[in-house]
Each structure stands twice: as structure tokens, then as C-alpha cells.
Homo-oligomer: A and B are copies of this chain.
Amino acid sequence: MRYELYYWPEIPGRGEFIRLALEAGGADYIDVGNRSEEQGWGIAAIETFLGGEVTDFPPFAPPFLKAGELVISHVANILQYLGPRLGLWPGDEANRLWAHGLQLTIADFTAEAHDLHHPLGPGLYYEDQQEEAARRARQFISERLPKFLGYFERVLIDNPAGERHLVGETLTTVDLSLFHVVEGLRYALPNAMAEAEQEAPRVIALHDRVRDIPRIAEYLASDRRQPFSEEGLFRHYPELDSDG
């Protein structure tokens, strides 16, 4: 199976959660947004799908995955589909439901990390909501960031199979996704994150283990990995960070 990942080009964005799973699982895939329009890929291919011209299942927004005839939208839905096929998902029902719940908690965490630079919604530029963003960022840094990191720290502590993984005793998409959130927050809010990390040593140890997985290390060093920037989900605006 050659999977097709549909996501906007040149940013990690929400597509990165899918890329990390495909890379860790050694999957054959096309990163459609980053391929050339001349070959029928690129943004035009994404928009054809969103326009509903080629499917009865038009997603509301990227990312979405094409797997044969299937079209699957939303990060958590895609990872729940890919996880078992790539050996990145727990086997028993209780842990599967737990993994999906954690994946959705990561989606909530990610949405708040996005909204700190877009508190008035996606329809305005950052520059048009800069003051509001400054207020929201202070809230995020003082309350939400430590709450979310502390939650995942406790999930690692409480895991009956040990603190090497969030769910059970093997690598899942949830570990990969939390790795990416740490990467993104370190880019976006280096000062705030340096402080918050001190209360979440197990989350950071998990991040480091994911980074060192051979397939992930190879991917991170490749040109398939898109750089963070102020076009993406995690943005570095120094005025939103805490003082160093």
C-alpha cells in the first residue's frame, strides 16, 4: 500500500503527526503537498479533494490520508487507522481506547498552542490580533502549558507497563505525537518551555528516546522534514514568550 498524505506544503503543521507515524513505521507514502503540481500533486491535488470533485467523503480541512479507496480526515482518526497497520498501536481494547483518548488530548493541546497566536480565530493575521495574542500567551504559559505537560508526566508515571511509553510497553503514535509537541513548543516558546520542562522530566526523556529511534533520526536529518516557521502551527514570536 502506498499511502497518500494530503497536507499543506513547506510546514510541519498537523501533517507532521502523520509523517512521524509513516516514517517510524517504514511506510511507503507520498507527501502530496510537497510534490510538484506538474506531476499532478501539490496544492492543486489537495484542493481537488476539498472541493468534493473526486470523492463522496470531502474532508473539511487537511490533513487527510488516502489509503487505496479510503479517505480519512483528522489526525487522530488517521493515526487510529494507521497505528495497527504500522505496528504503532496497542493490541487490547482498553489500551486502544486509552491511546485514542490521549491522541485527542494531544489534539486539544496542539489547538491551544495554535490559538495562542490566533486567539481571534483563523480568519485574521497574527499582526491583527497581536495584543490579544499577548494576553492569551500569558495564560497559556502560566496555566495551560504546565497543566498539559504535568498531565502527560503523570500518565507516564501511572503507566502500569512502565514509564518508557505513554501506553503499554511499546512505541505508539501517541509517543511520536508528544515528541512533536515538545519539539514545536521548544521552537515556539523556548524560554517558557525551558522552565516548564523541569517539571516533566519523563516527558522529556520520552522525547529524547523518540528522537533517537533510527528511522526517526534519519527522517529528522532528511529534507523530508519541513522546518518550523511563522507560517505553521507552532510559531516563534519572541514577544509571546516569557523572559529568559
Contact = CB atoms under 8 A, between A and B. Distances in A.
B73 A104 contact: yes
Nearest to A134: B120
Contact of A70 (B74, B97, B155): B97
Given A93-B70, A101-B74, A121-B112, A56 B158 contact: yes
A160 B121 contact: no
A154 interface: yes
A139 B112 contact: no
Contact of A119 (B57, B136, B143, B155): B136
Task: Give the number of copies in the complex.
Answer: 2
B74 A94 contact: no
Contacts of A108: 60
**Residue of A52, A93, A121, A132 contacting most chain B CB atoms (<10 Å):** A121
Interface string A44-58: 000000001000111
Interface residues of A, number: 51
Nearest to A160: B56
A178 interface: no
Nearest to A76: B104
Contacts of A119: 119-121, 132, 136
A124 interface: yes
Given A60-B105, A74-B104, A151-B60, A97 B81 contact: yes
A59 interface: yes
7 contacts: A56-B159, A57-B94, A59-B101, A70-B93, A71-B94, A73-B101, A119-B121
Interface of A: 52, 56-60, 64, 69-74, 76-77, 80-81, 93-94, 97-98, 100-101, 104-105, 108, 111-112, 115, 119-124, 129, 132, 135-136, 139-140, 142-144, 148, 151, 154-155, 158-160
